[in-house]
Amino acid sequence: MMQAVKTPAPLAERLPRLALFTLAVAACGWWSIHMALGPSGFSMLWIPSGILFGVLLTSPRGHWPAYLVCALLAFLASNLQRNGAGLLTLALSLCNLFDAWFAARLVTSRVGDVGQLASINRTLRVGGVATLLACTLSALAAATARQALMPQQHGFGVLFETWLASHALGMVIFGTLTVIARVEGRRMLGPPARRLELAATVALVAASTWLIFAQSALPVSFLLLPPLLLCVLRHRFSGFVPAMALIALIAAMATAAGHGPLVLGAGADDDVARSRMLQLFLLCCCWVAFPVASVLTERRVLTHRMARSEQQYRMLADYSRDLIIRIGPERSLDYISPSVTELLGWTREEYERARWELIHPEDVAILQNTMSPLYESGGMASIVYRCRHKQGHYIWLAANVRSARDGKGQPALVYSGRDVTSRIEAEQALEQQARRDPLTGLANRLLFDERLALALARGWRNRTRVGLLYIDVDHFKAINDTHGHAAGDHALREFALRLGGCIRSVDLAVRLGGDEFAVLVEDIATPQSPQFVADKLVAAMREPIRFEGIPLRISASIGIGMSGPGHSDAAALMRLADEALYQAKAAGRNTWRLAVAPTWPERASAS
């Protein structure tokens, strides 16, 4: 459990403080008994329990026994002079001790730190209930003891209500004063620039109380509310607590002495009515001013919390390396973080003016279609897109866009993006490696299968043909056996290079494995298109490949398969190409053969 004072000090170091506490409680007890005396010897305003209550709330639980012992001694001393030595003095002192201890125990068990302004409303609610319950129990015990040990003219009900009201008011007013004084210290006086104003306002309340209680008309007492509210409005609890304490002290002394509007309003000789009038008056002052102070304090806490939250948000946004953008209801860029300069090279003004012009043309529609639904349905979306740097190149940004509400409740968006160019390029490189042959750089079988399926699907939709060339390097094993694998690898790389020079940019050259290659040709109108590629490759291989000064003569056997218009059977096309390749090898190699699916007359011709 957190308390305002967290580190217990040794008892020897606390002795001076305990002695001062004992004297203060004893002095306040003497004042309450002699200067605010009510019916049957009960005080109309009991201050000591309020001080003990506040001290217990702001002390570690381990310090409580010492404070309780000191308070009991002070209570005994205060009651001894009034009631003499006996059981009544002991009983009343224990009742005084009980209500402060029991209320503090209830509050600390349900509120972590009473000094936290953020939870002040909960603290006040718990404290109010605990005070009322504790004072009710102690009032029952005290009134019973007084009736049993020292019968008076006043009945049990008068004793009960006098004790209950005096202790509850004392604990609320002076308990709050003690808590604030111990938790805030000098800060309870407010900012240094406003302390003189606080002192003047409290002095105004004290002077007004003194003047009002020098009068005899009961309605005049309500003229105290304006200066009290002024003090509360200007200084919140820093004004309420000292002002209310002074009002209670002055009003109690004047009423006990038989002066003021409450005496004449109740009857000069009726001490019970005077006590009730005083306690009711103080209760009305608390009821009027206490909620105002509480609301203003809560408003201050919320204002500070909001200012701190905004400061933290702005600090995070301004110093984050991510690009933070707040997009308003009209799609305007209400905020752009300074990281836009580090990330993209543009100033905030330049980025706002250019905006959509900086997005890669292929990504504009994707970005707009992702963000627009968020205004209507809310939620969050993620997108990866390209944005132009001021130096002209594009970088990849990964963005999270979340819907929000602006200060007017209108839909808005919060954008957070970061540079993921390195990650995307690495992914693309890995994807490239997964679909490319490491020796020749040509497509591998994985990419070939994907592109063949796509080509046949397009051919089926467009009623066009697809051509497939299967290519084997003739007598490649002899090169490996004669000149070594290094020569074989060099020959394959050079063959792949010449093959790439014989096809269109839209065609796909593939190394299927070993000395087997393939070429995928799309949108064929006549058989001459793949035949042209085969003729070019046969011609290109007539020039020897040189390896370390050694000429390597290489030729190729080529089988050409052509699908029928709108056909989408990959296996059938590969069978055609494989059959044609077998025919080319059977014809003596270094040549090509063509196999065409039905629709065009099947024929086989040689280069």
- Alpha helix (H) residue ranges in 510-552: 528-540
Look at residues 32, 49, 6 and name the one whose alpha carbon lies nearest to residue 177.
49
- Yes or no: say if 473 and 590 are a contact pair by the CB < 8 Å rule: no
SS3 505: coil
Residue in 515, 523, 535, 569 annotated catalytic: 515
d(CA 90, CA 98): 12
Report which secondary-structure segment, H or E, holds 81.
helix 64-83
Residue that has been written with the tokens 């509310």 in this structure: 225
User: Which whole-number Å values give the CA distances from 438 to 394, 506, 514, in the listed order?
Assistant: 28, 21, 12
- Residue 416, token pair as written in the block: 């957070």
The amino acid at residue 302 is L
Residue that has been written with the tokens 């014989």 in this structure: 502
SS3 522: strand
- Yes or no: say if 236 and 296 are a contact pair by the CB < 8 Å rule: yes
- Catalytic residue list contains 515: yes
DSSP readout, 381-444?
Answer: EEEEEEEE-TTS-EEEEEEEEEEEE-TTS-EEEEEEEEE-HHHHHHHHHHHHHHTB-TTT-SB-
Residues 6+ apart with CB under 8 A from 456: 466, 563, 567, 568, 569, 570, 573
Write 206-215 long-range contacts (CB < 8 A, 24+).
206/243, 206/246, 206/247, 206/250, 209/246, 209/247, 209/250, 209/251, 210/250, 212/260, 212/261, 213/250, 213/251, 213/254, 213/255, 213/259, 213/260, 213/261, 213/262, 214/254, 214/259, 214/260, 215/260, 215/261
Residues 6+ apart with CB under 8 A from 497: none
Residue that has been written with the tokens 């001021």 in this structure: 390
Residues 6+ apart with CB under 8 A from 459: 465, 466, 522, 523, 563, 565, 566, 567, 568
- Yes or no: say if 50 and 178 are a contact pair by the CB < 8 Å rule: yes
d(CA 262, CA 455): 103
DSSP state of 35: T
d(CA 552, CA 476): 10
d(CA 181, CA 40): 33
**Cα torsion angle, 53, 58, 62, 67, sign:** negative
Burial class (CB in 10 A: 0-12, 13-18, 19+), 105: middle
- Beta strand ranges found along 458-601 (DSSP E): 465-473, 508-513, 516-524, 545-547, 550-552, 556-562, 592-596
User: Which residue numbers are catalytic?
Assistant: 515
